[in-house]
Amino acid sequence: MSKKAFHTTSAPQPAGPYSQAVEANGFVYTAGFGPQDAANGNAVAESVGDQTRQVLRNVQSALAERGLTLDDCVKTTVHLADLADFTEFNEAYKEFFSEPYPVRTTVGSQLANILVEIDAVAAIPEGK
């Protein structure tokens, strides 16, 4: 199996020894992204809705390095600091995806000073 890592300056830089995205076996797997702005590394906004939008823009940027979009996503994993924020999170999330939606797992997690983190798996269309 071969792996190829992708890097973009349009998304937050890794905070440790991991890639922003890796291609393997016809899929692209992203790291878990938080709501940091790539320009300054600071988390944006205080609401879970606005943080969700920034997180998904970060995921979009990572996928774009391979020529993919959120429409290519088949799976996401979402970590929420507070599951009571689910409704607001879900409203923001659905702004970025169209049917058929990717499958999704949403869990409550202890996050470091952010409200949401998301990673994605995207299928590479034939010929791309």
Domains located in the chain, CATH noted: 3-123 (3.30.1330.40)
CA 79 to chain centroid, in Å, comes to 11
Reported as a single tens digit per residue, the pLDDT across 9-39 is: 999 999 899 999 999 999 999 999 999 988 8
Continuous segment of H or E residues that includes residue 105: strand 103-108
Across the range 48-65, mean pLDDT stands at 96
pLDDT for res 128: 79
b/e sequence 26-59, b meaning 16+ C-beta within 10 Å: eebbbbbbbbbeeeeeebbeeebbbbbbbbbbbb
Spatial distance between the Cα atoms of 88 and 4, rounded to a whole number of angstroms = 35
For residue 50, pLDDT over 70 is answered with yes
Q: Which percentage of the chain shows pLDDT scores above 70? A: 98
* Count of all residues that appear for the chain in the document: 128
Looking at residue 76, what is its pLDDT?
98
At residue 91, the pLDDT reads 98
- Tell me what pLDDT residue 62 has: 97
pLDDT at 43 over 70: no
Which residue's structure tokens are 């010929």? 127
Residue 128: half-sphere exposure toward Cβ, Cα within 13 Å:
17
